[in-house]
Amino acid sequence: MSQLPIENCRLCKGAINQDMVFGSTIICGTCKNTFQVPRKKSKAQLILFAFLGTALLFGGAFYIYKKTRGYDELFASLSEEELRQSLKRCPDIRCEIAAYKRLHELKPSQAVYTANYAFRLTDSGQYSEAQSLYDSMLSAGEGTYDLMAYAARNLVGLNRESDAVKWYEGALSIQPQLYDVTKELALTLVKLKDRDSAISLLRSFVDTHPNTRGRLEGNIRSLLETHPEALSQDKLQNQKIRLYASRGGHHFISVTIAEKSEMFMVDTGSSLLAVPTELFEKILKSKARNLKQAQLKLADGRIVTGHTFVIPELKVGRFLLKDIEAAHCENCAPLLGRSVLRHFKTQSKPKGRLEIMEITPAAEI
């Protein structure tokens, strides 16, 4: 007689005999409880369980070792290929930092290892340790857009916003469509109290990437609703506004009239400041002087009937101007023409695929 899989019922504890076994099912003759015959584990299963147990044991040991000795010691003896494979299994950024650090030590001439080591340090907030790596790579002529963007982020982390602007601009000069870098540069400019350059950057980005209008319009409007105090004549020295545009794009600048700010496109071909009639009716009609009907030529060459007038006072950024000739018509776009630009010195500074225009006030405005 074969040995019974179990001797007693699990429920009533009554004795089980061979007559109660039906294949893989047991029906207790006393309480009629039904349950399955316990399966014997095969040799293969026993080997698998033994292997898994060993793996768990070593895994636990590895975890304890990692916690007590650190990743640096774990990776110290690994080859380049072993480190690259380890990176694929890294569970956290500490592991990645240690792996890239060791790769950088093994292959200091491989910029990709040094850059990724620096990136992970920046991501983990270790800005001081990362900065020497960025300085070394950038001084050696490494110039990828992601390197420049990360170098700028690291400088912001070190509260060196003025230095960060250069590298944000460098990244955008290579890839002007970078949305995150554009927003980070705008935020950095705001921290530097350069509201007007930040607005110009965001508005120009929307002009060349209309699909971002919904995401950036609120930022632009919020900045426009801040009205920085106009600079007095004695504070104009060394003041400037940097206007941004991607190659072939347009430069925009904030103009404030009667405490309401709007974005105007810089147009050296327009003789006057031009405003739509709707804007004129809303904020200018009661203040305009010398209102005269006139024939106006639009940018596309059409001649339309509009009006010329004089605006007693307006601000271009923080620069206060008085008695500015302007025009309005139904189809006029908001344009900053020569009647305003003559009060400034403009200097174009192309930077890769980025067009930067610096506006500084003339001796007196």
For residues 18-47, average pLDDT: 60
Poorest-confidence range of 127-131, 176-180, 330-334? 330-334
Q: How sure is the predictor about 333, in pLDDT bands with cuts at 50, 70 and 90?
A: confident
- For residues 343 and 231, what is the distance between their CA atoms, to the nearest angstrom? 14
- Checking if the pLDDT of 200 tops 80, the result is yes
How high is the pLDDT of residue 160? 97
Counts for the chain of helices (H) and strands (E), in that order: 13, 13
Query: Average pLDDT, stretch 350-360?
Result: 92
- Beta-strand runs (E) in the chain: 21-22, 25-27, 34-36, 241-246, 252-257, 260-266, 273-276, 289-297, 303-316, 319-329, 335-336, 344-351, 354-361
In this prediction, residues 222-250 reach a mean pLDDT of: 78
Task: Say if residue 343 is exposed, middle or buried (CB neighbours under 10 Å; 0-12, 13-18, 19+).
Answer: middle
What the block records as the tokens of 310 is: 């004089």
Sole residue written with tokens 């307006």: 314
Cα separation, 117 vs 329, whole angstroms? 58
Whether 72 shows a pLDDT value over 80: the answer reads yes
Look at residues 365, 363, 356, 243 and name the one whose alpha carbon lies nearest to residue 314: 365
The Cα 273–Cα 118 span in angstroms is 48
HSE value, Cβ hemisphere, 13 Å, CA-based, for 287 = 17
| Mean predicted lDDT score pLDDT of the chain | 84
User: CA of 251: how far to CAs of 17, 191, 207, 279, in Å?
Assistant: 94, 22, 9, 20
On the question of pLDDT at 80 being above 70, the answer is yes
The predicted model scores a pTM of 0.76
Task: Tell me if residue 166 falls in helix, strand or coil.
Answer: helix
- pLDDT mean over 99-127: 95
- The domains found in the chain, sorted by start residue, are 1-37 (no CATH), 71-224 (1.25.40.10), 233-361 (2.40.70.10)
CB 166 within 8 A of CB 134: no
pLDDT, tens digit, for every residue of 180-190? 999 999 999 99
Which pLDDT does position 296 carry in this prediction? Answer: 78
The one-letter amino acid code at 165 reads V
Over residues 165-179, the pLDDT tens digits come to 999 999 999 999 999
Say yes or no to pLDDT of 67 above 60. Answer: no
Range of weakest confidence among 58-72, 198-212, 250-264: 58-72
